Chains A and B, each alone.
Chain A
Amino acid sequence: MSNSRNKGLVIKDLKVEYKVGQLALGQMDLSLPEHGIYTIIGPSGSGKSTLLRAIAGLLPSYMGQIFFNEKSVNVKETLIGLVPQNYGLLPWKTVHDNIQIAMKISHTASISKQERENQINQWLSSMGISDLADRYPLSLSGGQQQRVAIARAFAILPTILLLDEPFSALDAITRETLQILFLDNWLAHPATTLFVTHDVEEAILLGQKIIVMPSNKEETPEMIDNELVFQMKHEDKRDSVDFFEQTKRIRKVMQEIW
């Protein structure tokens, strides 16, 4: 294998069982270049969350290997920004403190307090939640919590960004706003990103490549190139012919393997 093929996130023969003999995630072989967004779509129970948990180092054991730039993914240098399906905010910390603690733990002593405060404020305002800084998560709506969770994941400037259905709690309009916010922030800090969604349109609007998970764990997932749509201006995507074609194509794949 050439060097360039090993760059980025490489997943080899990954399989996960929570209980012996019961596959939670069928065999995965992925090679995802650095600084890309990859959307994952699949029926519920197909192992999307499990895949992210494996990469995030949250599983006690799995079969196969996960590398980032030729190093095992669970080393300190690969910083992982995770937005779990339930947002994963600590209820006893304010919005500000949730972000602050993640920054403190991930970048021990590398920046001054003042600098950190500036960055927190900047991330809060870029997600449009500056006025929520001193609120506790339990007093926020699902959508507001999702924004906080995304701000926190961006704020630690991760090498790999993992988002598990991050916009699921949003109405259509807020969802579009957040998709744009997300893309803007991502363009400024293009981490290698895995984005799980159950929405076909979202998968096409955001992903460079789209991974379609099969419902049968014995089958292999389908990878669809989406570079054409990805390169367009976000406002134009939805109305383009490519978008339409891509939708048809993915629906067809879904019918085959779901």
Chain B
Amino acid sequence: MRKNRIHHIIRLLFVFFCMNVVWYIAYLLMNHSILPSPFAVYNAMFHLGGQEIVLNVGYSLFRIFAGVVLALIIGLLIGLLMGRSLTWNKLLDPVVYLTYPVPKIALLPVVMLFFGLGETSKILMIMLILLFQIIISVRDGVKAIPENTYDVLTSIGASTVQKFWHVTLPGALSVILSTIRISLGTAISVLFFTEIYGTEHGMGFFIMDAWLRLDYPEMYAGIMLFSLVGFVLFLLVDFLDYKFMKWRGVQR
């Protein structure tokens, strides 16, 4: 188990190193300012003020978190309603079915018109991207829990809240986590778009700002940092999966 993890980390570091080598070779071949060398980029990264990094990364992380949490709360409520009640499912299913194929990113101008250029529209966009996926996966996850899983708790008089907390939520958590994992990539891309306008903070702003100033090493440094943010988020989902999904492992 432990040995496996160390191997995994070594493999990741090795691939990371190889990518840098490829990058360096490309830099030597191109010999042009639009592709700086890895050293120049890492140098630029180290010369960024710690405060600047924390502020930009912090803003981006906050927007993602707010969007994810909002999508989770609303998605859980609606998905649960649809999973547990036939009437609500019949009522809401066509709504989800019709709105699901709408490319959410295309709603960006609409959201900006309604909610302005500030934080609200940025968070709402991320929420919109995740919401429908979460609704559908919660609904299916909840439906997939066998009805008799509730029996023992029902027979000792558990309340609806207790049943939700001890059966429905953990039963559907696995699908919820994999949905978040899948939608997180899209959410990060959308975050980039929304940070281009109406803000002075966030990784999207940072990258585009460096680009406008023709400061390419700093632009690449921003891209690396942004990727790091994405990587940390994936690690977080992996950690949650590890923490809450232990029960699936059938190792004796």
Contacts and interface: CB of A to CB of B under 8 A. Distances in A.
B148 A84 contact: yes
A84 B154 CA distance: 12
A88 B170 contact: no
Interface in A56-102: 56-58, 76, 79-82, 84, 86, 88, 90-94, 101-102
B158 A80 contact: no
A139 interface: yes
A130 interface: no
A88 B149 CA distance: 6
A105 to B, nearest CB: 5
B152 A84 contact: yes
A205 interface: no
Contacts of B103: none
B170 A105 contact: no
A232 interface: no
B247 A82 contact: no
B249 A105 contact: no
A90 B153 CA distance: 10
B156 A84 contact: no
A56 B153 CA distance: 10
B151 A56 contact: yes
A137 B252 CA distance: 11
B49 to A, nearest CB: 45
B246 interface: yes
A101 B151 contact: no
A152 interface: yes
B224 interface: no
A102 B162 CA distance: 11
A106 B251 contact: no
Contact of A138 (B149, B157, B158, B247): B247
Interface string A111-139: 00000000000000000000000001111
B247 A105 contact: no
Interface size class on chain A is 20 to 34
B249 A82 contact: no
A90 B167 contact: yes
A156 interface: yes
B155 A57 contact: yes
A13 to B, nearest CB: 22
Contacts of B153: 101-102, 105
Contacts, number: 69
Contact of A139 (B151, B170, B251): B251
A80 B155 contact: yes
Contact of A80 (B148, B156, B246, B249): B156
B90 interface: no
A136 B156 contact: no
Contacts of B154: 56-58
Contacts of B252: 139
B157 A105 contact: yes
Nearest to A97: B166
A58 B151 contact: yes
Interface string B121-158: 00000000000000000000000000011011111111
Contacts of A81: 156
A92 B171 CA distance: 8
A61 B199 CA distance: 59
B248 interface: yes
Nearest to B156: A106
A102 B151 CA distance: 12
B29 interface: no
Contacts of B157: 76, 79, 105-106
B102 interface: no
A106 B170 CA distance: 20
Interface of A: 53, 56-58, 76, 79-82, 84, 86, 88, 90-94, 101-102, 105-106, 136-139, 152, 156, 162
15 contacts: A53-B151, A58-B155, A79-B156, A80-B156, A84-B151, A88-B152, A92-B247, A105-B153, A105-B158, A136-B247, A136-B249, A137-B247, A138-B250, A139-B250, A156-B156
Given A56-B151, A58-B154, 12 more contacts: A58-B155, A88-B148, A91-B247, A92-B170, A92-B244, A94-B247, A101-B166, A102-B152, A102-B156, A105-B153, A105-B157, A105-B162
The 8 A-B pairs with the shortest beta carbon distances in the complex, nearest first, are: A56-B155, A136-B247, A92-B170, A106-B156, A88-B152, A82-B155, A92-B247, A80-B155
